[in-house]
Amino acid sequence: MLRRQGGCRPSQDLVAVVDALGRQRFFLCGHDRGGRVGHRLALDFPDRLEKLCVIDIAPTLASIQTTTVRTGNAAIGSGATPTCSGASAPW
């Protein structure tokens, strides 16, 4: 069931919709707010995304501070390791 604004977790809502469609993994392209939802989904449910395309968002400080190489790779879906000084370093 989708939640209303306030206790809203759009990434969880999207996973619930995809579950209802009978899919485990999926491709997602998000623009602006949809890109933020995609970024959050990649952090919360990296095993559900086949690939993620994010268009036209600027990351928030909180998203930068919590992103690791593993979650970043899940978000971009390429398997490429961003240049950083350690496996848990934000990029």
Let me know how long the chain is: 91
pLDDT of 67 reads 76
- The answer to whether 16 touches 1, Cβ cutoff 8 Å, is yes
pLDDT of 46 reads 92
Domain that holds residue 62: 10-76
Consecutive sets of 10 residues in the chain, 91 residues long: mean pLDDT of each? 56 93 95 87 92 82 75 61 37 34
Q: Which two tokens stand for residue 38?
A: 């995609």
- Rounded Cα gap, residues 24 and 3, in angstroms: 21
pLDDT of 32 reads 84
pLDDT of 83 reads 37
Residue 46 lies in a domain: yes
Residue 59 lies in a domain: yes
pLDDT of 36 reads 85
Residue 90 lies in a domain: no
Residue 85 lies in a domain: no
Residue 89 lies in a domain: no
Backbone angles phi and psi of 29, in degrees to 5: -120, 120
Looking at the structure of the chain, the number of domains it has is 1
- Rounded Cα gap, residues 17 and 84, in angstroms: 35
Residue 4 lies in a domain: no
pLDDT of 50 reads 93
pTM given for the model? 0.55
